[in-house]
Chain A
Amino acid sequence: QVRLQESGPGVVRPSETLSLTCTVSGGSVSGYYWSWLRQSPWRGLEWIGYIYYTGYTNYNPSLKSRVAISEDTSKNQFSLKLSSVTAADTAIYYCATGELLHDTWGPGIMVTVSS
């Protein structure tokens, strides 16, 4: 059974880049789709984007200019970078399986954008 765990800083300064990593256990990042989502009281649940093990990515058009998702098969991890953050990017960030349908989620990590 695949398990996911998000990691990264809990606080990011405005205008900087948010960087998170998802570690996959019980399975391999190769051969599957992997997604990032976030949840906040003001935006609800929001899909950020996904990566396929080939390196193909697809992003939410509303975030596309600021998002990059990558993977490291040697570490069995995939990562999220969100640039030029503002207070509106404060949220719980989740990594999950699947491109658009998600049957396994990490527990989530709270990220606050604050100086």
Chain B
Amino acid sequence: DIQMTQSPSTLSASVGDRVTITCRASQSISDWLAWYQQKPGQAPKLLIYKASGLESGVPSRFSGSGSGTEFTLTITSLQPDDFATYYCQQYSSYSTFGQGTKVEIK
């Protein structure tokens, strides 16, 4: 199994802040990495695919980067709607998710 580790587990930030979340894979996954946003009581929503591809309809303040084993999700100017939990997912070999990063209001 490929293990995915996210950091931090919780992040406190204010509206307008630049936020970065890191995801590390236990082995190289090339760029087969996605990011999802999940709000309480809702299903996850796809934000980023293939490490840096922006899903249709997702605001451009979201961006992804990385390859191999280290990846980042960046939100350039945090908006009130962005307070949520974010998950990375590798789909290089089957599929596994990170444990999540909760972005909360500071």
Interface residues of A (CB under 8 A from B): 44-47, 60-62, 94, 96, 100-103, 105-108
Contact = CB atoms under 8 A, between A and B. Distances in A.
8 A-B pairs with least C-beta separation: A105-B43, A100-B91, A47-B95, A45-B97, A100-B95, A103-B46, A44-B99, A108-B43
Contacts of A101: 34, 46, 49, 89, 91
Interface of A is mostly: loop
Contact of B44 (A45, A46, A61): A45
Interface of B is mostly: loop
Contacts of A47: 94-97
Instruction: Report, as a range, how many residues of chain B touch the other chain.
Output: 10 to 19
A101 to B, nearest CB: 6
Nearest to B34: A101
B97 A44 contact: yes
Nearest to A46: B97
Contacts of A96: 43
Contacts of B45: 105
B87 A45 contact: yes
Contacts of B95: 47, 60, 100
Contacts of B91: 100-101
Most buried by B among A44, A61, A94: A44
B60 interface: no
Interface string B29-59: 0000010000000111110010000010000
